[in-house]
Amino acid sequence: MAAGIRERFGRGPALVAQDNLRRVVLRDRDLPGAANIALIGLTARYALDAGFHVMVEGVLHADHHGEMLAGLRADHRSPIHAHHLDVPLTETLARHATKPIADEVDASRLRDWCRPLALLPGRAETGVSAGSALPATVDPHRARRRPGRTAARDL
């Protein structure tokens, strides 16, 4: 979904990928209070402060990441759109099998991570079903953007 959003918006959106920061940069575990959570928040905040539109994506559990995400939402001045991609476990397993890390992360670990419609408190997210077309999810946000508004930096 994040890659599709970037493609539709063009240059400017920053992608803060939870799995990359947690697993690749820090080699950290997905636990409450782990260092990767603060790094995700700092990275997103830096990009926001530099004028980028920011997408934080990944398996972001409310009990692990909720406080950090709530802080970003509270401090950000522009409209915020949060989505939870609700993908059934069978589809998650099929998609995962095509990824380079399929051999590193097995199906039992994915089953542990999978929490259907585990939305953040306070109606902060919109649930998006796995069958939703990308334009139906993204285009309403593009229409609400102010004309001519782009990120401060165009890489």
pLDDT digits (tens, 9 = 90+) for 62-116: 888 889 998 998 888 777 777 777 778 888 788 778 888 788 888 888 777 777 6
pTM of the entire structure? 0.75
Contact predicate 19/56, CB 8 Å: no
Q: Which domains does the chain have, with CATH numbers?
A: 2-142 (3.40.50.300)
The pLDDT tens digits for 120-146 are 777 677 777 777 776 776 666 554 444
127-151 CB burial, b ≥16 within 10 A, e <16:
ebeeeeeeeebbeeeeeeeeeeeeb
Does residue 2 have a pLDDT over 90?
Answer: no
CB neighbours of 152 closer than 8 A, spacing ≥ 6?
A: 50, 51, 52
Residue whose token pair is 């939402």: 73
Q: What is the arithmetic mean of pLDDT over 20-37? A: 92
Residue 84 token pair: 């939870």
Residue 24 token pair: 């690749």
Residue 98 token pair: 């095509």
pLDDT at 62 (0 to 100): 83
Which regions of 10-125 does DSSP assign to beta strands (E)? 13-17, 53-57, 83-86
pLDDT at 28 (0 to 100): 92
* pLDDT bracket for residue 154 (50, 70, 90): very low
